[in-house]
Amino acid sequence: MSSPLLVLRQIVKNYGGVRALRGVDFDLRAGEVHALLGENGAGKSTLIKIVTGAHSPDGGTITVVGQRVVDLTPATARALGIACIYQQPALFPDLTVAENLALRLDATNMHARIDWTARRARATSLLSRIGAAISPDTEVRALSMPEQQLVEIACALGSGARIVIMDEPTASLTQKEQRLLYAVVQDLRKNGVGVIYISHRLEEIFALADRVTVLRDGQSVGTHAMGDINEAGLIRLMVGREVAQIYPAAQSAPGASVLSIRGLGCKSSGVHDVSFDVRAGEIFGLGGLVGAGRTELARILFGLTPADSGQITLAGKILHLRSPQDAVAHGIAYVPEDRRRHGVVLDLPLAQNITMAVHRRLFPKTWLRFGAERVLTLNYIRDLAVKCAGPDAHGSSLSGGNQQKIALARWLATQPKLLILDEPTQGVDIGAKNEIHKIIRRLAQEGLAVILISSDLPEVIGMSDRIGVMAQGTLRTILPSGSDPHTVMAAALGTAA
Amino acid sequence: MKRYFRELSVVGTLLAVLLGLALFAPAFFSPQPLLSLVTREAPTLVVAAGMACIIITRQIDISVSSIFSVCSVCAGLLVARGWPLVLVLPASVGLGALFGAFNGFLVAVMRLPSIVVTLATMVTLRQGLNLIRQGEFVNLPDRVQWFGLSQTAGQLVLVGFALVLLVTLAWAMRHLAAGRYLYAVGTDAEAARLAGIRPQLVTLFVFVFIGSLTGLGAMMNLAQSPQVQPLTGNGLELKVIAAVVVGGVAISGGRGNLWGAFAGLLLLACVSPALTHLHIEAYWEKAVQGAIILLAVVADGLRSRQSNR
Amino acid sequence: MSTAAHAPASYLRPRRDWRALLTRHEMLLLYVLIAEWLFFYFAGTSTNRRGVIVGFGTWDRQFDILRHSCEIGLLALALTPVIITAGIDLSVGSLLGLCAILFGKLWHDGGLPIPVAMGLTLGIGALAGALNAILITALRLPPLIVTLGTYSLFRGLAEAITRGSITYTDFPEKFLFIGQERWLGLPTQAWVFFMVALAMGLMLHRTTFGRAFRTIGLAPEGARYAGLPVERRLALAYVLAGLIAAIAAIIYTARLGQAKADAGTGYELFAITAVVLGGTSIFGGKGTILGTLLGVAAIAVLKNGLACLPVVMRLNAAEEMSGLLTGALLLVALTASVLPKILSNLRPHRHTSAQSTPQLSQ
């Protein structure tokens, strides 16, 4: 084997109090495809960000082709021949393909002359090298997502990168495009390029990769040659730990069915044929990988992207949800995933945040009733044990866990029939996480139907009474409470393990 | 073809209007009045080119009208004092650039919204000019009008100059890196930063640029009449923004080109004479222009809705 | 749960922080206004040959200031909610002109009684506002360019209707009472102005509508996720702006006793200046009616006070001088509004929260 292109030793990265990486070792050789595998939140994307220079590590060393690199920035990373193809291509939509390539590849100065013929020729040759039938004169806006990804790949090729990182490159590709991509990867390998390949599709990893490194909880749990390991072994490595945390257990059986959806789908968000029931007092967990369509499903149920097929029945009534107002009126509450952008308005006081969804009920004559608002806010602050300076404190002054409690309080105030929680404990410290778990269990105990979307495998297994696993926009299977993590992961990965 | 659909549709509309005029009001095409019309629009065209650049960068400058007036008056005063035109021209351009730099500083460095900043500079400059000049006209020496040439020759020189400038700028927008940077910054400033462009610098530059073009436009205006009136630029900003938007430059940045802006300007400029020749009262001009702006914006809105689906 | 420590009973009463209150934007503006007023009082008041006090320091002059600030003040009130939703309406000045003309036409050419004409004018104003609203909310077009278009359209219609020359005059005495006389000691239109201010103030600070405006201005997506009817509230802001512009048009006509197509030209600039000067953030979400009123007062006192100054000090051009100073004031206010943000950006961040999920960098 040839000399290593990239060596990472003992990489540590903390975000505030959260240890995202705790001493990761990784190496990449020339002419190999090295797969990186792990659950959501295992630290893959953090590791990638460190290699591309987007974030600097808090500890450890990076060596590129035998040279120790300190202070890696995006610019130096590019200069060292590191290129990354992200899941969501970051191109300029109003500019043409040729132009996008040029903006990325040419280090230009303001008065440089642009040679359109050369640009176009290069774009054509790069695109044809990866077998993509895209005209260099098309505006990127007009390209489909996979086509844009191909442009990104062409860009990486054009930069003459020695290290190419592919972050779930096939997530949105069709079969034909996937085959094209595989060919490109083989081509890169033949040319001595090192490829770091991130994917959740195990069959893909077995088909392409030479070696695989599995990350878990910010640590590497082993690097193996593909020949030495099978699918079951990989899943075991990924899941590994036992469900160590104690989750509050259900104390009574769930009641009657509250929500019932049949054949639900929405073309624009890629969700199709989803059917399940949620009963009163039940926590229905939705597991799956990022991009499996769970948030999209929640958005349909909350009226943000109206469904175009199927049926939603809530408490015996068939609903046609056209807007969030409809959903709220029927007693559906949604605590969104992006807390800081959607869940809480950071520049408003807590009181206003909490009463935002209950204007109609709390202020029936549209006049604000500050006393009532205060009482309600204080009740929730007390009830959910929110640590804050009072109802007038702004959302931005709170920690993540407490912001999450405020977002939760807003929806509890609506006295919903169905509560959808989207990654309620993401980026929350352990203590607050435990508290939120207790709150969720208590709410279910009180008879609320809860849908819990979580990428945290132990959480979704520990909290849920039943676990629906989604993949590729549809519900794959429903597993009972306390299922084996391996089974859940296998279902999410789409393998029949 | 599809890429330039928006521009081509403006050109198509313009041609249709011209055809209509040819059929119903052939008098419109008599050479001298037509040349006068085009000459009158030449300074506006120069400013419109700058406005296209600034809107492509996702900014806006409504202070061009005041900068235009101030530059006109200052240049007029210098000429009246006996400065040669060769010196007055850079002075006027430089003055415009200075005002542009002031706007650019507030927008790029202080991160203030360009609409309010340029609104404030517009009011300040206009009122400052009124305060100092009290509406007084500047009388120019004879040598200035049409550069001392015959009227037709002068008009041809001005129109020719404006066209050459337009072609040069359009070429530069497409073939110089700096031109492409405007599009990149206007599309996505953050992505541009990651691609190694400095958005703040580009923003500052584009404000200075429109300032200098406005100073240049003021000079071209100066050469058309025997005197400068201090209100000469009033309403220019709307006319120019309207032309640019009608010409397919997206107000959300990153999209459009100078040729579209040129066609848009001609279309709007045709409104007034077309109304006259079609025996519609000229008072409808502003209303028709407003309706054209709204129509263009609505068309863009519907198109982007469709493509988002 | 040990919650007592987190929520003592004193929370039930809102806390008052006097220092914060005294340094609020509105208070700072009030100091400026008082200083301005005192300056003009001492520099702009004099005694004429017959021993009568003339100039700034007379009651007549104070009422005059009030009378003249009503129209721009109304437009500023109309713009406050719009700007709080992070929008803008450039068309209010033109709409004032169009409404004035249509009012005159309805009364003069249409032969309608004044009250009916007034009612119809208000309806027209609201309709024009609805045009803006539909384009902005239904088609999701940027407010800046939409209202720029209607700015041109409304003024153009006014010019077309009057053929640029017709002026409607000879309004009945009773109608002119609104604009030229006093009622209960104050200029009549001031009562209308204060009523609208009170209504807007109540709406913005005491009802759920104001809450919605603010939330939309701060976080349009967040508002949608909270189940607020974003489109309807936005539309309301623009329709109200149109309605109030129509009220301003009637008052304008009554004050001058004539309706002309150029009524209210450039008023939108002064109105926006007053709003921004009053502390409303052009980025949306923040702003008060009190601030807007103070902003209007600051501009009006400046304009009028300058006219009272001795010729030496005002360079014989009070109008221009006040315009110049207003523009400069706006620039200063804008700069001052972002200075804290820029300064805090220079300082290192105090707390990096644990959940600050790193952004995808490309």
Q: Does a structural domain hold residue B148? A: yes
Contact C361 A54 (CB under 8 A): yes
Residue A73, min C-alpha distance to chain B (Å): 11
Which of B111, B119, B241 is facing C272, going by the closest CB pair? Answer: B119
User: What distance in Å separates the CA atoms of residue A354 and residue B188, rounded to the nearest whole number?
Assistant: 34
Q: Does a structural domain hold residue C78? A: yes
User: What distance in Å separates the CA atoms of residue A421 and residue A301, rounded to the nearest whole number?
Assistant: 12
Partners of residue C276 in chain B, C-beta under 8 Å: 116
Q: Does a structural domain hold residue B150? A: yes
Q: Over chain A, what is the mean pLDDT? A: 86
Token pair for B127: 């009122």
The size of the A-C interface in CB pairs under 8 A is 138
Partners of residue A91 in chain B, C-beta under 8 Å: 191
**Average pLDDT in the A416-434 region?**
86
* Residuewise pLDDT in 10s, chain B (309 residues): 466 788 888 899 899 988 988 888 888 888 888 888 889 899 999 999 999 999 999 999 989 999 999 999 999 999 989 888 889 999 999 999 999 999 999 999 888 888 888 988 988 898 888 888 887 888 888 877 887 788 888 899 999 999 999 999 998 888 888 888 899 899 888 778 777 788 899 999 999 999 999 999 999 998 888 888 888 888 888 889 889 998 989 888 888 889 999 999 999 888 878 888 877 777 888 888 888 889 888 888 887 766 554
Q: Does a structural domain hold residue C132? A: yes
Residue A38, min C-alpha distance to chain C (Å): 19
Burial B111-144 (b: 16+ CB within 10 A, else e): ebbbbbbbbbbbbbbbbbbbbebeeebbebeeeb
Q: Does a structural domain hold residue B25? A: no
How many of the other CB atoms lie within 10 Å of CB of B154? 17
Q: Label residue A171 by pLDDT band (50, 70, 90).
A: low
Which of B111, B120, B297 is facing C330, going by the closest CB pair? Answer: B120
What is the number of structural domains in chain C? 1
Predicted-complex ipTM score: 0.82
User: What distance in Å separates the CA atoms of residue A229 and residue B148, rounded to the nearest whole number?
Assistant: 90
Q: What 8-state DSSP symbol labels residue A247?
A: P
Contact B121 C327 (CB under 8 A): yes
Interface residues from chain C to A (CB-CB < 8 Å): 1-3, 6-7, 11-12, 14-15, 206-209, 211-212, 214-215, 218-219, 221-229, 285, 352-358, 360-362
Residue B256, min C-alpha distance to chain A (Å): 9
Of residues A337, A327, A320, the one with CA closest to residue A264: A320
- Which residues have a Cβ under 8 Å from the Cβ of B183 and sit 6 or more positions away? A92, A94, A95, A99, B56, B254, B255
Residue C136, min C-alpha distance to chain B (Å): 10
Partners of residue C354 in chain A, C-beta under 8 Å: 15-18, 399-400, 427, 429
What is the number of structural domains in chain B? 1
How many of the other CB atoms lie within 10 Å of CB of C269? 22
Q: Residue C211 in contact with residue A341, Cβ under 8 Å? A: no
For residue C175, the domain's CATH number is 1.10.3470
Q: Which residue type occupies C341?
A: K
Q: Label residue A88 by pLDDT band (50, 70, 90).
A: low
Token pair for A128: 């044809």
Q: Does a structural domain hold residue C148? A: yes
Which of C224, C353, C362 is facing A324, going by the closest CB pair? Answer: C224
pLDDT at C355: 31
Contact A49 C6 (CB under 8 A): no
Q: Residue A490 in contact with residue A497, Cβ under 8 Å? A: yes
Q: Among B274-283, C11-20, C61-70, C284-293, whose mean pLDDT is lowest?
A: C11-20
Q: Is B188 on the interface with A (CB under 8 A)?
A: yes
Q: What 8-state DSSP symbol labels residue A164?
A: E
Output the CA angle A139-A140-A142, nearest 5 degrees.
75
The pLDDT tens digits for C34-73 are 998 999 888 888 887 887 887 888 888 899 899 999 999 9
User: What distance in Å separates the CA atoms of residue B44 and residue A331, rounded to the nearest whole number?
Assistant: 58
User: What distance in Å separates the CA atoms of residue B275 and residue B283, rounded to the nearest whole number?
Assistant: 9
**B95 conformational bin, left if phi > 0, alpha if psi -120 to 50, beta if neither:** alpha
Which domains can be identified in chain A, with CATH numbers?
Answer: 4-239 (3.40.50.300), 257-493 (3.40.50.300)
Q: Does a structural domain hold residue C350? A: no
User: What distance in Å separates the CA atoms of residue A144 and residue A497, rounded to the nearest whole number?
Assistant: 33
Q: Does a structural domain hold residue B278? A: no
Place of tokens 């279902």: A491
Q: Label residue C5 by pLDDT band (50, 70, 90).
A: very low
Burial C80-112 (b: 16+ CB within 10 A, else e): bbbbbbbbbbbbbbbbbbbbbbbbbbbbbeeeb
Q: Which residue type occupies B223?
A: A
pLDDT at B308: 52
Q: Does a structural domain hold residue B249? A: no
Domain that holds residue C328: 58-335
Q: Which of A15, A383, A433 to mutate to test the interface with C (most CBs of C within 10 A)?
A: A15
Distances (CA, A) of C76 to A271, B57, B167, C65, C294: 47, 30, 44, 16, 11
Three-state DSSP class for residue A324: helix
**Average pLDDT in the A274-282 region?**
94
pLDDT at C6: 43
Q: Which residue in chain C has the smallest CA separation from A347?
A: C218
How many of the other CB atoms lie within 10 Å of CB of A139? 17
Residue C125, min C-alpha distance to chain A (Å): 25
Q: Does a structural domain hold residue B208? A: yes
Residue B289, φ and ψ in degrees, nearest 5: -60, -45
pLDDT at B92: 95
**A252 conformational bin, left if phi > 0, alpha if psi -120 to 50, beta if neither:** beta
**Average pLDDT in the A280-299 region?**
90
Q: Residue C245 in contact with residue C99, Cβ under 8 Å? A: yes
Q: What 8-state DSSP symbol labels residue A254?
A: -
Q: Does a structural domain hold residue C37? A: no
Contact A110 B181 (CB under 8 A): yes
Q: Does a structural domain hold residue C349? A: no
Residue C233, min C-alpha distance to chain B (Å): 21
Partners of residue B250 in chain A, C-beta under 8 Å: 94
pLDDT at C312: 61
Place of tokens 């976080």: C219
Q: Residue A381 in contact with residue A412, Cβ under 8 Å? A: no
Domain that holds residue B39: 31-233
Output the CA angle B195-A28-A179, nearest 5 degrees.
75
Contact B196 A107 (CB under 8 A): yes
Which of C7, C354, C356 is facing A381, going by the closest CB pair? Answer: C7
Q: Which of A49, A108, A140, A143 to mutate to test the interface with B (most CBs of B within 10 A)?
A: A108
Of residues A100, A6, A103, the one with CA closest to residue A53: A6
Q: Which residue in chain C has the smallest CA separation from A327?
A: C227
Contact C225 A386 (CB under 8 A): no
pLDDT at B48: 96
**C289 conformational bin, left if phi > 0, alpha if psi -120 to 50, beta if neither:** alpha
* Strand-pair partners of A59: A12
pLDDT at C346: 61
Of residues C38, C70, C41, the one with CA closest to residue C58: C41
Q: Label residue A159 by pLDDT band (50, 70, 90).
A: confident
Place of tokens 């280090």: A107
Of residues A231, C161, A112, the one with CA closest to residue B179: A112
Percent of chain A with pLDDT over 70: 94
Q: Is B128 on the interface with C (CB under 8 A)?
A: yes
